[in-house]
Chain A
């Protein structure tokens, strides 16, 4: 594929709103995870909650969209001048030539979960419940498109935890085919009862803070996040205000299926290996050009063992890699976009984020897992995202 310019990006996680607090925390090795105190959920476990989402903040015209997920989507769009950059792209290309490809796993399901606690005597949901704008998986794309005034193709990719890596690939295809000139891509997932109790039921929600690559790892910590990127057919040169220089490049994408199990990865990492190799192949690169791998790294025993094996099969055991989920928690459908943004920050600022909470490295895992953040000049970063249903995606990102 032709490298595609990423002119702007932003992320909001438990580490803070916008790129600066996230980069600072990652460089300093700080975690945004806290023991779970979300609503009335008292499960043993840790979560990465984003502050300021408990009150409505949407403009009146968008008030039907009000739910935790869209509040988080809105907060994220206001950071780092992202919405302004999209407005310039709209002027540059035309509103109908900018696609809006969003990703989420649970959308605004929390709104429905709470509505089920307030059903009427006849069983009906409360009258102020807005299904299409909150619960429906597509609501995030509708909300983002309306907020940004865009009329290009808009939809939500929902393939569990690989969702928001895959929107980069879908956007690249639309631009390559000439069906769009630019695309806003992103992922937003927010804390809800379904995922907290659900991962707990699968015994994948760790009672301790998550410890990717640690010998005693016992599962994931959940987080919430919004992350976006603006992809454009052409970057523009120059340093004048409002110029659309590339902040980084999308060099390659890989997508595959395990075809193995709904909630466990293929133990040999067949699908993960295919996704990573495809990302390299589509960029016309071999494995030696990758300077850092942001792992999926959920800290479940199965994922990390599979991913370690897959990474070594493709890259050997020298390429530095880490999981940033000890800092942000696992943000599910947002994880791909969050970790792409982290990869772009690492490329821009020249650092490798250390994987937190790994006190005692699992001796069975052989990849070059980095536990302390350090300065490092980076040219190319690979980001992995794997999801339920055996859905795998890898992105190869390049420095500006």
Chain B
């Protein structure tokens, strides 16, 4: 038995990734009009973050906040009004490395700021401080399936709260030696503003989502990206698992996107996240 399908609307998108400098600027690549080029990720400075916090925040936090800001602006919604779901495979890798180096010393001394920034919900904390957002926020991790988990939780939040929810998926690479055991090629952030169906007259897209156990049929395999560069990102960066969905929305055509899903099961019987992109604007 599969889970009941639910319909929600997509109102706004924020994007920053390798060769993907924002949602609007990436449309030609996502639509297949241009090949993806592997340019380094450019993270615009998050304007909502006060200068002191901007200095304290690492790349993973700045990228998450930059795409969150872009998605809220795209949706035309005030950030403070939104509940949020942040998801990341590894949080702030540079901060983690510095802490581990300090703790390897004979008499460890750690910086209070580094310790505060080590919590997995640092990006969410900085975001809610920056926008004085007092709605609920959660921060998740499911290793390679972190985007799948975040999307699932965000959809559940939209249904429960009956109001728009901000989803932010962001990953940033570790320095060595952790980079060797968890190689991520570059930082990437994807933010989506999701809302109950019918919230606005013209959503970017309407999505119908369901969890389905994998039947083993090839048609139900995880959706790939036709562009080889995008598909390489999809395999390498957890947040880039959003790309097949973004491609479908950018093309504005009805499409079925299958995500591997945030479950521990592999192969037949594992729960996949099925997304039908319908009614694209």
Contacts and interface: CB of A to CB of B under 8 A. Distances in A.
Interface of A: 94-97, 100, 105, 109, 112-113, 116-117, 119, 123-125, 129, 131-132, 135-139, 141-142, 145-146, 150-160, 166, 170, 173-174, 176-180, 193-194, 197-199, 201-202, 255-263, 270-271, 274, 387-391
B91 interface: yes
Interface stretch (B26-34, B112-120, B217-225): B112-120
Instruction: Pick from A117, A125, A137, A199 the residue with the most CB of B within 10 Å.
Output: A137
A55 to B, nearest CB: 23
B122 interface: yes
B68 interface: no
A125 B271 contact: no
Interface in B252-273: 261-265, 269-271
A256 B133 CA distance: 9
B149 A96 contact: no
Contact of A123 (B90, B177, B213): B177
Contact of B160 (A105, A123, A173): A173
A96 B103 contact: no
B19 to A, nearest CB: 26
A141 B142 contact: yes
A173 B124 contact: no
B6 interface: yes
Interface of B: 1, 3-4, 6, 80, 84, 89-91, 96, 99-104, 108-112, 115-122, 124-126, 128-129, 131-143, 145-146, 149, 152-153, 155-157, 159-160, 176-178, 180-182, 211, 213, 261-265, 269-271
A96 B96 CA distance: 34
Given A151-B213, A166-B138, A178-B4, 7 more contacts: A116-B101, A142-B143, A156-B140, A159-B124, A159-B138, A178-B3, A389-B124
Contacts of A95: 265, 269
What is the predominant secondary structure among interface residues of chain A facing chain B? mixed
B159 to A, nearest CB: 5
A166 B85 CA distance: 12
For B6, B126, B139, which residue has the most chain A Cβ atoms within 10 angstroms?
Answer: B139
A158 B120 contact: yes
B264 A159 contact: no
B121 A159 contact: yes
Given A96-B213, A131-B178, A155 B118 contact: no
A391 B120 CA distance: 12
Given A129-B181, A198-B110, A388 B116 contact: yes
Contact of A388 (B89, B125, B142): B125
A258 B119 contact: no
The interface centre, meaning the residue of B122, B136, B160, B264 with most chain A CB atoms within 10 A of its CB, is B264
A173 B89 contact: no
18 contacts: A94-B1, A119-B104, A132-B143, A136-B141, A136-B143, A138-B145, A141-B142, A142-B143, A151-B271, A154-B262, A160-B120, A170-B156, A173-B156, A174-B156, A178-B3, A179-B3, A179-B211, A194-B115
A148 to B, nearest CB: 9
Contacts of A146: 264
A388 B118 CA distance: 10
A259 B271 contact: no
A271 to B, nearest CB: 6
Contact of A138 (B110, B141, B153): B141
B113 to A, nearest CB: 9
Contacts of A123: 176-177
B156 A259 contact: no
B122 A262 contact: yes
B92 to A, nearest CB: 12
B125 A116 contact: no
A177 B4 contact: yes
A174 B213 CA distance: 16
B96 to A, nearest CB: 8
A390 B128 contact: yes
A155 B142 contact: yes
A267 to B, nearest CB: 14
Contacts of B264: 100, 141-142, 145-146, 150-151, 154
Contact of B181 (A131, A139, A159, A258): A131
B3 to A, nearest CB: 4
